[in-house]
């Protein structure tokens, strides 16, 4: 039995050797580009988009290494999964640098960032967001249910939702949704995906607040994502959606304020009881 395990390990390390080599090469390339990025040149956004692609490639290699570990050794490679998560995080950081991490703000606040990447057209933007989302999904599948990384993965998903929203050129989106325009189907699909991602981000941060943290900033983030969703509905003239989201935001804000007041009251009572005992 021990011999079988040693043979399996040997085969595993032989199989992953090319992936480890490629990851090292990608990391070396990243260091070279990062050194150039310190100059803040006009071409920096495109370099960052290239780094995003490289980090997603590295994530895919880490995921393959985990799959090989499962198939050849019968165990997950937690280190490979953690590295895949880190690569996804680095990809998201680069996308945030290019398109911003702003959530519930007017389009004018981030419009200039889209203008800085004119030759990276909308379909390329959409594809890159989808690829990042797929990589995140594969990492979550690798970790499995009830992973300790559940909430950090929620945060990465939510950050990607904000990026997806910021990849939409709201000045051209409405006319682009005319069925006669080229790219209509892809545009509609990505818009619907973005709305779904924003709603999921809001729901997940609300769940995180309720079952894990009770931190007001998690609830505020949930409300912020609902606000971003409401802006999109208003922009497209979907009044009923916007009204329903406005009501939901108001209900969530009341809940957050009520919880905050109840915690303050409980804390005050606890302090009074403590002083009385002394």
pLDDT in tens, 142-156: 999 889 999 999 999
Contact predicate 80/66, CB 8 Å: yes
What confidence tier does 1 reach under pLDDT thresholds 50, 70, 90? very low
Give the separation between CA 135 and CA 166, rounded to whole angstroms: 20
Tokens for 159, please give them.
């950050």
Who's near 57: CB < 8 A, 6+ residues apart? Answer: 22, 26
Residue 161 scores a pLDDT above 60: yes
Lowest mean pLDDT among 84-88, 176-180, 268-272: 268-272
Give the separation between CA 101 and CA 112, rounded to whole angstroms: 14
Q: What is the pTM (predicted TM-score) of this model?
A: 0.93
Using a 10 angstrom Cβ sphere, with 0-12 exposed, 13-18 middle and 19 or more buried, the burial of residue 46 is middle
Phi/psi at 155 (5° precision): -65, -40
Tokens for 4, please give them.
């079988």
pLDDT in tens, 205-223: 999 999 999 999 999 999 9
DSSP 101: -
Domain ranges of the chain: 1-101+117-158, 172-278
Residue 227 scores a pLDDT above 60: yes
Phi/psi at 110 (5° precision): -130, 10
Residue 5 scores a pLDDT above 90: no
Residue 168 scores a pLDDT above 80: yes
Phi/psi at 214 (5° precision): 60, 25
Span 56-60, average pLDDT: 98
């Amino acid at each position: 039995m021990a011999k079988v395990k040693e043979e399996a390990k040997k085969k595993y390390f032989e199989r992953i050797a090319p992936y480890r080599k490629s990851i090292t090469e990608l990391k070396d390339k990243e260091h070279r580009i990062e050194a150039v990025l310190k100059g803040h040149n006009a071409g920096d956004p495109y370099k960052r988009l290239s780094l995003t692609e490289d980090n997603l490639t590295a994530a895919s290699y880490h995921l393959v290494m985990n799959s090989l570990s499962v198939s050849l050794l019968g165990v997950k490679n937690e280190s490979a999964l953690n590295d895949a998560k880190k690569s996804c995080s680095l990809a998201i950081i680069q996308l945030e640098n290019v398109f911003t991490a702003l959530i519930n703000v007017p389009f004018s606040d981030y419009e200039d960032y889209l203008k800085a990447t004119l030759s990276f057209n909308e379909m390329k933007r959409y594809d890159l967001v989808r690829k990042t989302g797929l990589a995140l999904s594969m990492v979550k599948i690798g970790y499995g249910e009830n992973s300790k990384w559940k909430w950090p993965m929620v945060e990465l998903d939510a950050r990607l939702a904000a990026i997806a929203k910021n990849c939409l050129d709201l000045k051209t989106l409405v006319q682009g949704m005319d069925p006669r325009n080229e790219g209509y189907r892809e545009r509609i699909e990505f818009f619907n995906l973005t709305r779904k991602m924003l709603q999921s981000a809001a729901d997940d941060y609300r769940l995180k607040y309720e079952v894990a943290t009770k931190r007001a900033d998690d609830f505020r983030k949930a409300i912020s994502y609902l606000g971003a969703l409401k802006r999109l509905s208003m922009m497209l003239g979907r009044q009923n959606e916007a009204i329903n989201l406005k009501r939901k935001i108001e209900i969530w804000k009341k809940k957050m304020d009520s919880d905050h007041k109840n915690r303050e009251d409980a804390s005050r009572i606890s302090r009074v009881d403590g002083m009385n005992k002394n």
